[in-house]
Structure 1
Amino acid sequence: MVSPPHEAMHRIFQHDPGLFSRVSRFLGVDIPTPVKATALPTDLTETNPVERRVDTLLRFETAEQGPFLLAIEAQGRKHPDKPASWAYYTAYLWSKYRLPTALLVVCQDHATAKWAQQSVSCGPPQMPTLTLRPMVAGPHNMPVITDPEEARADLALASLAAITHAAEPVVDAILKALSTALRDEPKDIASPLIEFTAQGLVKNPAKHLWRNLVAVDLSFYTSYLAEEVREKVRKEVREEVQREVREEARVKDRAEDILFVLEQRGLDISDDVRSRITDCTDPELLRLWLARALAAPKAEKVFEDA
């Protein structure tokens, strides 16, 4: 089953195809800003029964270099079969579209990123034949955007920064900057980025912070994520009210127990004693008074040293 982080890591490029040209500078390559970007079918299945599907496939048109294809793969962990699949994707796309084809792998942890960016050749050492050199975006090279103004300047990049740093301590600061930047954005701009970020964080503790930020800073948001947060808050409020009601009932019962013991022992209970007992809200103090009421010679004695 495809996980939400997997979907977020590649679908954000479908949402904003131009994001790749802005990300490329962090990958050590210079990709011109596209004048046009088109999402292509991701199904790479041939006539044989083996189904092969790339995560995201984009066609870019550039004024300087002409058109090229970008295959984007989200990778959550090391997998020995993946390099062969990636080599197949790029070779097949090159053959089918007759266009230069690049591969971008997006990761969320340093170990997977380091593994993914290794060159792999399909032939023996002396005859490499076809060599795969993926570009890799991950916590090792994606920017740490903690300034709301910087996040506002490129919201998609800030969202990708949060996704790729999802397991890093710095993600909290990135999320706070992103939520602040999204606060004044129109719903049609903010909503998809809120969802991508939520999907990318779903397996990490930072998801709780993002839920709270969405509920507080982005209160206009009405997706399942925001409703989940608000329902959680409502539930917590209900539980707190119920605890308070139970505590009040427990205090009232204990005060009545003290008066009952004093009455059963035939002691005179003045109005001041009665009021002091019934007005007390400290359950531990009432417990002490109840113990003293069992042996006190006078009702007033229950308060001694209290």
Structure 2
Amino acid sequence: MPTKLHELPLEMVRNRPELVPELLRTVFNVDVPEESPATLTSESYADTNPAELRCDATVLLGEPDAPTLGVVVESQLRVKEAKSYSWPAYLASLRLRRKCPVLLLVICPDQATARGCAVPIDMGHPGWVLKPLTLSPEGVPPVTDEATARRLPELAVLSAVAHQEGPRAETVLNSLAIALGALPEDTRQLYHEHVAPQLSEVARKLLEESMRKTGLPTLEDYANKYKAEGEAVGLAKGEAIGQAKGEATGEVKGEAKALLLMLGARGVSVSDGVRERIRACKDLDQLERWILRAASVESVEELFD
């Protein structure tokens, strides 16, 4: 089952395909014209075998009907030998269908994974070697200007993780706040929840200060909002179907959401399994105890201890 860490980079590409040519230009020095439009296209390739080839995302540059370049984008959390066979197939299928040059861009969570995925794939034919272009946060250029942050908010998100420390940290985090402000609320919250656990405590505080200065809600604000909404829904349902039952139903949902946001605001990493465990909990007293613990724990293990 895909995890949030796997899906978020792909969500960014799907939300803003032009992120891909920007990364190719700035990180890998690929000559991609800036005026070329970027279009998200099908991620499935028909094969002569009944099994279907499905990459994570595909972006076409230029006109969709006559592209100048096709890019297969993969999100890879760890090195897998099987990818040395499927990646060339993705590229060959895309090249055959679109009749254009193709590239492979692999987004990784850290340098070690990026190095492992960058190992050249020898196809056996003389001179035919595929060298994947791999990217980890450390390779993303710092976003320090407002125009770029507004134009490519996803690049600012990746940049903040990579450059949260050092002389440009404050400028990079201010750019992230500007970038988040340029997004719809649901996307803003999604990206904010993704980036917060990857920031140091100092960086999170700088980001929260920047967001408050620009009038944007922080994760703590969202936590308080959902807690209040849960209580309100509970009371409303209580009037209709019995206060005790209605209040419990609404409050449980609000407390669970508030707990997850509080953990995110404090930078505590939450796996998909833990997220489901919290959402599945129907014991209001237990959720309230977890919320109190969430103010001081450093890991979810401590939360459940």
Interval of TM-score (by shorter of Structure 1 and Structure 2)? 0.5 to 0.7
Cα gap change, 1:88 to 1:152, in 2 (>3 Å): same
The equivalent residue for 1:82 is 83
Residues 11 and 56 of structure 1 are in contact (CA less than 8 Å); yes or no, is this contact kept in structure 2?
no
Task: Tell me, yes or no, if structure 1 residue 9 matches structure 2 residue 9.
Answer: yes
Give ranges in structure 2 of 5+ residues lacking alignment: 227-256, 266-287, 294-305
The equivalent residue for 1:58 is 59
The equivalent residue for 1:181 is 178
Question: Superposed, which structure 2 residues align to 1:170-209 within 5 Å?
Answer: 176-182=173-179, 184-185=181-182, 187-188=183-184, 191-199=186-194, 204=198, 209=204
The amino acid across from 2:178 in the alignment is A
Report the Cα distance in structure 2 between the residues aligned to 1:55 and 1:225, rounded to whole angstroms.
Answer: 35
The amino acid across from 1:53 in the alignment is R
Report which structure shows greater RCO (CA 8 Å, sep ≥6): 1
Question: Superposed, which structure 2 residues align to 1:94-105 within 5 Å?
Answer: 94-105=95-106
What is the percentage of aligned positions where both structures have the same residue?
22
Give ranges in structure 1 of 5+ residues lacking alignment: 241-306
Cα gap change, 1:158 to 1:93, in 2 (>3 Å): same
Residues 147 and 177 of structure 1 are in contact (CA less than 8 Å); yes or no, is this contact kept in structure 2?
no
Residues 159 and 172 of structure 2 are in contact (CA less than 8 Å); yes or no, is this contact kept in structure 1?
no
Following TM superposition, by how much is the alpha carbon of 1:193 offset from its aligned partner in structure 2, in angstroms? 4.7
Cα gap change, 1:146 to 1:91, in 2 (>3 Å): same
Which of 154, 158, 161 is 1:160 aligned to? 158
The equivalent residue for 2:119 is 118
Residues 144 and 174 of structure 1 are in contact (CA less than 8 Å); yes or no, is this contact kept in structure 2?
no
The equivalent residue for 1:20 is 20
The amino acid across from 1:106 in the alignment is I
Following TM superposition, by how much is the alpha carbon of 1:144 offset from its aligned partner in structure 2, in angstroms? 3.1
Cα gap change, 1:60 to 1:68, in 2 (>3 Å): same
Cα gap change, 1:56 to 1:206, in 2 (>3 Å): farther
The amino acid across from 2:121 in the alignment is V
Following TM superposition, by how much is the alpha carbon of 1:56 offset from its aligned partner in structure 2, in angstroms? 0.8
Following TM superposition, by how much is the alpha carbon of 1:102 offset from its aligned partner in structure 2, in angstroms? 1.0
Corresponding residue pairs, total? 228
The amino acid across from 1:130 in the alignment is W
Report the Cα distance in structure 1 between the residues aligned to 2:147 and 2:17, rounded to whole angstroms.
Answer: 22
Following TM superposition, by how much is the alpha carbon of 1:183 offset from its aligned partner in structure 2, in angstroms? 6.4
Question: Superposed, which structure 2 residues align to 1:1-306 within 5 Å?
Answer: 1-24=1-24, 25-61=26-62, 67-123=68-124, 127-128=125-126, 130-145=128-143, 151-152=149-150, 154-162=152-160, 165=162, 176-182=173-179, 184-185=181-182, 187-188=183-184, 191-199=186-194, 204=198, 209=204, 213=208, 218-219=216-217, 227=226, 228-229=257-258, 232=262
Report the Cα distance in structure 1 between the residues aligned to 2:4 and 2:224, rounded to whole angstroms.
Answer: 13
Q: Secondary structure at the match of 1:58?
A: strand
Cα gap change, 1:73 to 1:220, in 2 (>3 Å): same
Q: Secondary structure at the match of 2:81?
A: coil
Residues 5 and 200 of structure 1 are in contact (CA less than 8 Å); yes or no, is this contact kept in structure 2?
no
Report the Cα distance in structure 2 between the residues aligned to 1:184 and 1:93, rounded to whole angstroms.
Answer: 36
Report the Cα distance in structure 2 between the residues aligned to 1:223 and 1:51, rounded to whole angstroms.
Answer: 41
Report the Cα distance in structure 2 between the residues aligned to 1:159 and 1:225, rounded to whole angstroms.
Answer: 24
Residues 44 and 53 of structure 1 are in contact (CA less than 8 Å); yes or no, is this contact kept in structure 2?
yes
Report the Cα distance in structure 2 between the residues aligned to 1:143 and 1:56, rounded to whole angstroms.
Answer: 22
Report the Cα distance in structure 2 between the residues aligned to 1:55 and 1:224, rounded to whole angstroms.
Answer: 32
Report the Cα distance in structure 2 between the residues aligned to 1:94 and 1:146, rounded to whole angstroms.
Answer: 36
Following TM superposition, by how much is the alpha carbon of 1:117 offset from its aligned partner in structure 2, in angstroms? 2.1
Pair member with larger Rg: 1
Report the Cα distance in structure 1 between the residues aligned to 2:169 and 2:100, rounded to whole angstroms.
Answer: 41
Residues 69 and 100 of structure 2 are in contact (CA less than 8 Å); yes or no, is this contact kept in structure 1?
yes
Q: Secondary structure at the match of 2:158?
A: helix
Cα gap change, 1:139 to 1:183, in 2 (>3 Å): closer
